[in-house]
Amino acid sequence: MSWVRDSIRAFVERGDRLLLALCLLASGFGLVLIYSATRYTESNRNFVVQTVGILLGVAAYVLLSSVDIELFTEKSWKLMLLFNVGFNLLVRTPLGVEDDVGNLSWINIPGLPFNIQPGEVVKLTFVLMLAWQMKKLGEGGSISRPASVFSIAGHTLFMFALLVWATGDFGMGLVYLAIFVVMAWAGGVKKRWFLLAIVVCVVAAVVIWPHVKDRYFMRRFVVVFDHLTGNPDTLTEQTQGVGWQQTRSILAIGSGGLFGMGYLNGTQTQSKSASSLPARATDEIFAVCGEEFGLVGCLLLLVLLTAIILRCIWVARRASSPQSAMIAMGYAGMLIAQVAVNVGMCLYVFPVVGLTLPFISYGGSSIITMFAAMGIVSGIKMRSLPSWLRDRSRL
């Protein structure tokens, strides 16, 4: 208990209270939207679970702020590697639970009021492992050496392949790739490697596309392209088939106008009809915001999330070491990817891949993970270089 008291005292004295306040504002906004989005069910379970998740998340934020994350990673990287692999593989055990589209994305631990998404939790330790690996490779020479680039890329692709194979959750896999791109870019990997990666991806897509274009998941990408280009030949598919969820989403957002239809008054949000807005408390919660709070509410939500991202970048720029800076940038990349993809899904400019909106969407493991990640960022801020030393280090 003394460690807990010391952690709280250290946080009060030096923790990033501004970042915590931003996270609480965003998650509070999310609670308001979740209550409205689930009101039609006549059950408060989701609201209660999310509230408990926020409280546990705040506790994780405060406690992790006091952890020397570099020392912890140095001492525990082998255990973290085993955890990253083993925890994802738990979905293939009897604990695994399928989601609505058949992906094994969750595990059910008896006694917990919510399921846990291993891919969400492992994002935390994946960032820590990748930052530690980049530090070690940087000590041996340039991070842009072929051996170094192949090492960090191989680590990322292994985790991506493991996650997609074990869970079928391609959307979460995209977040891991985005984290790698942001960390590699911020870590000084030369631009020629990114150009090479783009060329390889384009060539691979051209070669693979004829063999996968008719699969259901690939049709999600095709329908977005057809929608953006106005292809009349697939109009039914765009509105009633694979693109049905996104069609309902943009209708909800469009009907909200500038100021929305009013809280608890959204036509689709409050409807019990099966043809109304789907996944309204999770994937499509941005549409709920648009329908009931309008453009103004959506902008406010995005401003809050952008402020959290910018705070992570601010902490990274003042970090006491490159490893800590990479960790903060990794979590910023995680947020950027999830916000961009989720909002893109709701606006029908990105295919549906089942990613939640950070701090806003319903999900116990998601909200706790987000607060825990920001707690690690707070700990980095607590150990940042003083301004006079930071200025000298740039000479």
Return the amino acid letter for 395: L
Kindly give, in sequence order, each residue whose CB lies less than 8 Å from that of residue 290, ignoring residues fewer than 6 positions away. Answer: 252, 253, 254, 256, 260, 297, 298, 346
- Residue by residue, pLDDT tens for the chain (395 residues) are 666 676 677 777 778 899 999 999 999 999 999 999 999 988 899 999 999 999 999 999 999 998 889 999 999 989 999 999 999 999 888 888 876 666 788 888 887 767 888 989 999 999 999 999 999 998 877 888 999 999 999 999 999 999 999 888 888 999 999 999 999 999 989 999 999 999 998 898 888 877 766 676 777 787 888 778 777 767 777 677 777 888 889 999 999 999 999 999 999 989 888 778 888 899 899 999 999 999 999 999 999 999 999 999 999 999 988 999 999 999 999 999 999 999 999 998 888 888 899 999 998 889 999 999 999 999 999 887 655 455 544 43
| pLDDT at residue number 387 | 54
Record the tokens describing residue 239, joined without a space: 């509105």
User: Which DSSP symbol is given to 131?
Assistant: H
| pLDDT at residue number 392 | 44
Return the amino acid letter for 353: V
CA torsion 366-370-376-381 (nearest 10°) is: 180
| pLDDT at residue number 395 | 34
Rounded Cα distance, 64 and 70, in Å: 12
| pLDDT at residue number 206 | 84
| pLDDT at residue number 380 | 94
Q: Which residues pair with 106 in a beta bridge?
A: 97
Burial of 170 (0-12, 13-18, 19+ CB in 10 A): middle
- Closest by CA position to 347, among listed 273, 276, 268, 289: 289
Q: Quick check: 371 and 23 in contact, CB under 8 A? A: yes
Q: Which residues pair with 107 in a beta bridge?
A: 96, 116
Q: Which residues pair with 97 in a beta bridge?
A: 106
Kindly report the three-state secondary structure assignment for every residue of 320-379.
CCHHHHHHHHHHHHHHHHHHHHHHHHHCCCCCCCCCCCCCCCCCHHHHHHHHHHHHHHHH
**Residue 275 vs residues 102, 172, 373, 387: alpha-carbon distances, Å:** 21, 27, 37, 57
- Closest by CA position to 91, among listed 109, 81, 104: 104
- pTM of the predicted structure, to 2 decimals: 0.92
Rounded Cα distance, 234 and 238, in Å: 6
Residue 129, H or E segment: helix 118-139
- Closest by CA position to 282, among listed 362, 372, 190, 203: 362
Record the tokens describing residue 8, joined without a space: 């709280």
| pLDDT at residue number 316 | 94
Q: Quick check: 63 and 3 in contact, CB under 8 A? A: no
Q: Quick check: 369 and 123 in contact, CB under 8 A? A: yes
Rounded Cα distance, 372 and 382, in Å: 15
CA torsion 313-299-342-244 (nearest 10°) is: -170
